[in-house]
């Protein structure tokens, strides 16, 4: 049996977990899922739809929100009871963090961001390194494989399964397990309620936008297309936009239908976060900008002219 951690934010599933469930199912074993926190109980239907027979719910009065080390402890307790062949999760920052804690508690290796997994003795994985620019082929020498699935390497496939049966357990938490916890939040949602990771359209801006005020044009175009605004790290480290909007290796990895990159040069750390987008449109004054290598369409020009022109043309076309 393979155990899959379904990550959720106060009961709302991280869609990348469905890809992890699919990847696990393709390894040919039975699948059981686990959520940490009682507000994940409502995910039994979707866990079953994607192939899990059982949804284990790690519930404890000290787990009221994301508490990564407590997750690791809860997973350790469950692994001890169920003895799965592998524990998988999405290769998101949170998936990686929680499984790293599990592996540390068990004193075994953890393979992050795997694009291929073969269970055996030893286990074998291919995994993305250096922002996806290097594929590592590695053997993992432990009985239990603890691994995350690199974002967007597997399409989520429903098996239309019945709701998973719910099995609640209470982890044996130590005081140190809840030292790292969420104290407050800056909303990662835009005004329209579309988050970066599930937006179908992202209009992303870089240093070329010139400052926080320049993002008005991007917001307008994103709103018109039913999408949301993203940005490069230069933009977040300059304080022009919140970190929740950063796309890339140290931001959010995205794969929208349409990614418009305005005033972004295409550093590999940015490309790592958006190269799986279905259609990429680049707006840049520099015809030699590296991001052009990834563009399906490119407009060589000043974004301060191009974006308003695009917005007005789309408004006209919509009538």
Q: How far is the CB of 272 from ligand FAD (least distance, A)?
A: 7
- Coil, strand, or helix at residue 185? coil
- Contact assessment for residue 271 and residue 254, using Cβ atoms and an 8 Å cutoff: no
C-beta of 49 vs 219, nearer to ligand FAD:
219
Q: How far is the CB of 149 from ligand FAD (least distance, A)?
A: 20
Q: How far is the CB of 50 from ligand FAD (least distance, A)?
A: 29
Q: How far is the CB of 94 from ligand FAD (least distance, A)?
A: 16
C-beta of 82 vs 298, nearer to ligand FAD:
298
Contacts of 110 (CB under 8 A, 6+ apart): 99, 100, 102, 103, 104, 146, 147, 148
C-beta of 165 vs 250, nearer to ligand FAD:
250
Instruction: Compute the distance between CA of residue 278 and CA of residue 227 in angstroms, rounded to an integer.
Output: 14
Instruction: Compute the distance between CA of residue 121 and CA of residue 219 in angstroms, rounded to an integer.
Output: 52
C-beta of 131 vs 167, nearer to ligand FAD:
131
- Contact assessment for residue 240 and residue 182, using Cβ atoms and an 8 Å cutoff: no
C-beta of 22 vs 232, nearer to ligand FAD:
232
Q: How far is the CB of 243 from ligand FAD (least distance, A)?
A: 10
Rg for the chain, CA atoms, rounded: 21
C-beta of 4 vs 303, nearer to ligand FAD:
303
- How distant, in Å, are the alpha carbons of 13, 64, 219, 291 from that of 274? 21, 32, 19, 11
Contacting positions for ligand FAD (CB under 6 A): 206-208, 232-234, 246-251, 263-265, 267, 269-270, 273, 283-286, 289, 302-304
Q: How far is the CB of 108 from ligand FAD (least distance, A)?
A: 27
Exposed e or buried b per residue across 50-60, where buried means at least 16 C-beta atoms within 10 angstroms of its C-beta: bbbebbbbbbb
């Amino acid at each position: 049996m393979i155990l899959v951690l379904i990550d959720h934010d106060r009961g709302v599933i991280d869609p990348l977990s469905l890809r992890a469930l699919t990847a696990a199912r393709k390894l040919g074993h039975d699948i059981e899922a686990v959520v940490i926190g009682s507000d994940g109980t409502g995910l039994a239907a979707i866990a079953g739809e994607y192939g899990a027979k059982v949804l284990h719910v790690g519930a404890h009065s000290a787990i009221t929100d994301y508490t990564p080390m407590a997750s690791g402890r809860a997973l350790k307790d469950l692994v001890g009871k169920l003895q799965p062949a592998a524990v998988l999760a999405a290769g998101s920052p949170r998936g990686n963090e929680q499984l790293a804690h599990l592996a540390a508690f068990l004193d075994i290796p953890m393979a992050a961001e795997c694009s291929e997994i073969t269970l055996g003795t030893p286990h074998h994985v291919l995994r993305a390194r250096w922002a996806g620019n290097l594929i590592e082929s590695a053997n993992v020498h432990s009985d239990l494989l603890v691994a995350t699935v690199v974002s967007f390497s597997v399409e989520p496939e429903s098996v239309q399964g019945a709701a998973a049966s719910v099995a609640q357990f209470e982890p044996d938490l130590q005081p140190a397990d809840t030292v790292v916890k969420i104290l407050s939040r800056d909303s990662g949602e835009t005004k329209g309620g579309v988050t970066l990771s599930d937006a179908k359209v992202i209009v992303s801006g870089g240093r070329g936008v010139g400052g926080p005020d320049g993002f008005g044009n991007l917001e307008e175009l994103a709103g018109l297309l039913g999408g949301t605004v993203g940005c490069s790290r230069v933009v977040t480290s300059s304080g022009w936009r919140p970190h929740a909007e950063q796309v890339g290796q140290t931001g959010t990895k995205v794969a929208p239908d349409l990614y418009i990159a305005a005033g972004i040069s295409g550093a590999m750390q940015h490309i790592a976060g958006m190269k799986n987008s279905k259609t990429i449109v680049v707006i840049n004054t520099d015809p030699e900008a590296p991001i052009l290598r990834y563009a399906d369409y490119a407009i060589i020009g000043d974004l301060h002219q191009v974006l308003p022109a695009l917005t007005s043309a789309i408004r006209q076309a919509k009538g």
